[in-house]
Amino acid sequence: MTEPVRDAARIIVTGGTFDKRYDAIKGELTFTETHLPALLEQGRVKLPLAVDIRLLIDSLQMTEAHRQQVLEACRESPELSIVVVHGTDTMVQTAQVVGRAALGKTIVFTGAMVPYSVQGSDAEFNLGFALAAALTLPAGAYVAMNARIFSWDDVEKDRGEGVFRRP
Amino acid sequence: MTEPVRDAARIIVTGGTFDKRYDAIKGELTFTETHLPALLEQGRVKLPLAVDIRLLIDSLQMTEAHRQQVLEACRESPELSIVVVHGTDTMVQTAQVVGRAALGKTIVFTGAMVPYSVQGSDAEFNLGFALAAALTLPAGAYVAMNARIFSWDDVEKDRGEGVFRRP
Amino acid sequence: MTEPVRDAARIIVTGGTFDKRYDAIKGELTFTETHLPALLEQGRVKLPLAVDIRLLIDSLQMTEAHRQQVLEACRESPELSIVVVHGTDTMVQTAQVVGRAALGKTIVFTGAMVPYSVQGSDAEFNLGFALAAALTLPAGAYVAMNARIFSWDDVEKDRGEGVFRRP
Amino acid sequence: MTEPVRDAARIIVTGGTFDKRYDAIKGELTFTETHLPALLEQGRVKLPLAVDIRLLIDSLQMTEAHRQQVLEACRESPELSIVVVHGTDTMVQTAQVVGRAALGKTIVFTGAMVPYSVQGSDAEFNLGFALAAALTLPAGAYVAMNARIFSWDDVEKDRGEGVFRRP
């Protein structure tokens, strides 16, 4: 039997709640560096992975230029399976930019509702979930959060509930 | 565009390192109850899920009768996407029993190298990873651990390294 | 040999970084309820303890009226050993109000530089440290943080470094 | 007002549940290295501290020769405030050896019912608690666990309940 899934992937980091960290002096959540290597170590990840840290910002501060940077990172990726770690507030918008470009790769957007640095974070679960989706789904752009997978053109965030759903 | 993945799943619990818990009086890791509800809450899982707690044992103590119980649980499942949480030591043997039965469902075996109750556990990552695999892969039995997915007839555990690999 | 220390204590909660909690919908750290019961359970505390939740606010928002409430709570306490959980920014000012009142009890102010709900928090350490100080020190008001103990009239917070020190 | 407490301490490490670590390959709790530096960093400890790693064993395996090593480490300590991190099962016996020697120092035995490496450990609380006790109590040997302090000659462990108490 042939290997049913691809055997390498790329993770593109853009920031978001996923990567916020508590600054004990300022007393607030900020960005300093990505937690991604810590998450991969915790997950004991054995898959060959490339990590591309493009941005480290809150997704509410993402401009159209930032979204073009994400699209560019996806276009340049030699791997066909890509996970984009992104803030949840504008994840859908960036997924639309990438989805419309139809790059012929499987590009899965994920993030976290609770930062990895906070107890009870969903970051580790979502990262594992998104990685498997990126390895197995047909080419296209998707949002994968909290055990649900949506196509880029069939998803919205319900901010009051903090969940993604079909419109 | 149609929904690219199934929208419900079943988790069958059998125990394993994943679910071991520290007993402060005995001073050792034992089984008391599954951590699965805690993992699902942490992952903020929004997918309709059935949970079937069949066994709560170390996989080194699994007999052929136990493996038949797992097979039976898979056969009875109305959901076509199934994750089996299993100890890693004999995960491959149980996957073979289930794989040979060719049930026409997507059945993904996963577990953990470090218990969920221990700091730095890979349980949450593996659960997310296996769930996405169960929702997206074609019918068959698989082992999904640490970001790698194997067909049931093309995998072995390297106990010295604590990893799964193709033989 | 007689028991060298008192055998009961009171904890007065006022809020502070110690008790901040991540709100996944708002995406920020807020107050909802105190973590104190969780900390006591984790510490497996066997000492008879009274818990008095007076306030649940950031110490930068403490007014003179709030400080009088803390003083009143200390005055009313039948226990002679008291820990006050307090935000670090104005902990010294409240300790001065209580210290000047010379209540004839051992009153120890503590808090955290990192919320209990954030990975790597100093809350549990500081709570244990302050409790032992409250059980053993002579009557007076003290600040006990990060393994250092200061008299109320001989301490200041260095905000740039995030530490307490003698002036 | 003079500083009410001593301003330096020594921690003598002997192992015990406190320092057990999960070995993912062997699938059991073992000793590899002490977690003490991690605990001190988490507690943001600002007190000048000497750390003396004497032993790293289960206290059930402690011989009389081991206890003499602990006594020797206490005798050699230039600091007058000492915390001994010790397994709980024979903590009382070692405290008796050290207590009878009447070294004129404050020596506080502590440990953990749940390893630091396991979620919900009492190690951080007990370390903070024991440190404050060591800085404030008169010379003598003590057991300080779970917010209770006992003199070395007035304490026993109730193994069924997993608590220390007066006989």
C16-58 pLDDT per residue, tens? 999 999 999 999 999 999 999 999 999 999 999 999 999 999 9
D147-163 pLDDT per residue, tens? 999 999 999 999 999 99
Is the Cβ of B80 closer than 8 Å to some Cβ of chain D? Answer: no
CA distances from A66 to A57, A80, A155, C161, D78 (A): 10, 22, 21, 34, 59
Question: pLDDT band for position A71 (50/70/90)?
Answer: very high
Candidate from A25, A28, A114 with C-beta closest to C24: A114
In angstroms, the CA B69 to CA C50 distance is 51
Residue of C nearest to A116 (CA): C119
Query: Contact A49/B147, CB-based, under 8 Å?
Result: yes
Candidate from D22, D115, D160 with C-beta closest to B114: D22
First to last CA, chain C: 39
Provide mean pLDDT across the span A146-152.
98
pLDDT for residue A101: 98
Candidate from B121, B122, B131 with C-beta closest to A147: B131
Query: Mean pLDDT of all residues in chain C?
Result: 95
Query: Contact C118/A117, CB-based, under 8 Å?
Result: yes
Shortest Cα distance, chain A CAs vs residue B83, angstroms: 13
Residues of D in Cβ contact (< 8 Å) with B113: 24
- Touching C: which chains, 3+ CB pairs < 8 A? A, D
D98-126 pLDDT per residue, tens? 999 999 999 999 999 999 999 999 999 99
Helix (H) or strand (E) holding C158: strand C156-158
**Three-class SS state of B48:** coil
pLDDT for residue B2: 41
Q: What is the crossing angle of helices B91-101 and B64-76, to 10°?
A: 50
Is the Cβ of B48 closer than 8 Å to some Cβ of chain D? Answer: no
Is the Cβ of C39 closer than 8 Å to some Cβ of chain D? Answer: yes
pLDDT for residue B34: 96
Shortest Cα distance, chain B CAs vs residue D62, angstroms: 17
pLDDT for residue B6: 85
Residues of D in Cβ contact (< 8 Å) with C131: 129, 132, 147
pLDDT for residue C88: 97
**Three-class SS state of C12:** strand
pLDDT for residue B1: 37
Query: Contact B24/D161, CB-based, under 8 Å?
Result: no
Provide the pairing of β-strand A9-15 with C140-145: unpaired
Query: Contact C22/A162, CB-based, under 8 Å?
Result: no
CA distances from D71 to B159, D16, D55, D60, D107 (A): 42, 17, 12, 17, 10
Shortest Cα distance, chain C CAs vs residue D44, angstroms: 5
Shortest Cα distance, chain A CAs vs residue B63, angstroms: 28
**Three-class SS state of B23:** strand
Q: What is the 3-state secondary structure (H, E, C) of chain A?
A: CCCCCCCCEEEEEEECHHHCEEECCCCEEECCCCCHHHHHHHCCCCCCEEEEEEEEECHHHCCHHHHHHHHHHHHHCCCCEEEEECCCCCHHHHHHHHHHHCCCCEEEEECCCCCCCECCCCHHHHHHHHHHHHHHCCCEEEEEECCEEEECCCCEEECCCCEEECC
pLDDT at A1 over 50: no
Residues of C in Cβ contact (< 8 Å) with D143: none
A72-92 pLDDT per residue, tens? 999 999 999 999 999 999 999
Which of D2, D35, D117, D124 should be substituted to probe chain C, the one whose Cβ sees the most C Cβ atoms within 10 Å?
D124
Is the Cβ of C153 closer than 8 Å to some Cβ of chain D? Answer: yes
**Three-class SS state of C1:** coil
pLDDT for residue C112: 98
Residues of chain C above pLDDT 70, percent = 97
Residues in chain A: 167
Residue of B nearest to D89 (CA): B27
pLDDT for residue A7: 87
Residues of A in Cβ contact (< 8 Å) with C120: 117
pLDDT at D30 over 60: yes
Is the Cβ of B91 closer than 8 Å to some Cβ of chain A? Answer: no
Q: What is the residue-wise DSSP string for B93-107?
A: HHHHHHHHH--SSEE
In angstroms, the CA C141 to CA B62 distance is 60
Provide mean pLDDT across the span C84-109.
98
**Residues of chain B with confidence (pLDDT) below 50:** 1-3
Site of tokens 């619990």: B13
Residues whose CB is less than 8 angstroms from the CB of residue A71 and which lie 6 or more positions away in sequence, other chains included: A97, A98, A101
Q: What is the 3-state secondary structure (H, E, C) of chain D?
A: CCCCCCCCEEEEEEECHHHCEEECCCCEEECCCCCHHHHHHHCCCCCCEEEEEEEEECHHHCCHHHHHHHHHHHHHCCCCEEEEECCCCCHHHHHHHHHHHCCCCEEEEECCCCCCCECCCCHHHHHHHHHHHHHHCCCEEEEEECCEEEECCCCEEECCCCEEECC
Query: Contact C132/D138, CB-based, under 8 Å?
Result: no
pLDDT for residue B7: 87
Shortest Cα distance, chain C CAs vs residue D65, angstroms: 28
Query: Contact D29/B28, CB-based, under 8 Å?
Result: yes
A15-48 pLDDT per residue, tens? 999 999 999 999 999 999 999 999 999 999 999 9
Residues of A in Cβ contact (< 8 Å) with C161: 25
Residues of B in Cβ contact (< 8 Å) with D90: none
Which of A19, A22, A157 should be substituted to probe chain C, the one whose Cβ sees the most C Cβ atoms within 10 Å?
A22
Residue A162 Ramachandran class (φ > 0 left, ψ -120 to 50 alpha, else beta): left
In angstroms, the CA A141 to CA D130 distance is 55
B85-125 pLDDT per residue, tens? 999 999 999 999 999 999 999 999 999 999 999 999 999 99
Site of tokens 């997507």: B106
Is the Cβ of B129 closer than 8 Å to some Cβ of chain A? Answer: yes
pLDDT for residue B3: 44
Is the Cβ of C143 closer than 8 Å to some Cβ of chain D? Answer: no
Residues of D in Cβ contact (< 8 Å) with C128: 124-130, 132, 147
pLDDT at C4 over 60: no
Query: Contact A119/C114, CB-based, under 8 Å?
Result: no
Which of C60, C61, C119 should be substituted to probe chain A, the one whose Cβ sees the most A Cβ atoms within 10 Å?
C119
Whole-model pTM: value is 0.96
Site of tokens 């106990």: B159
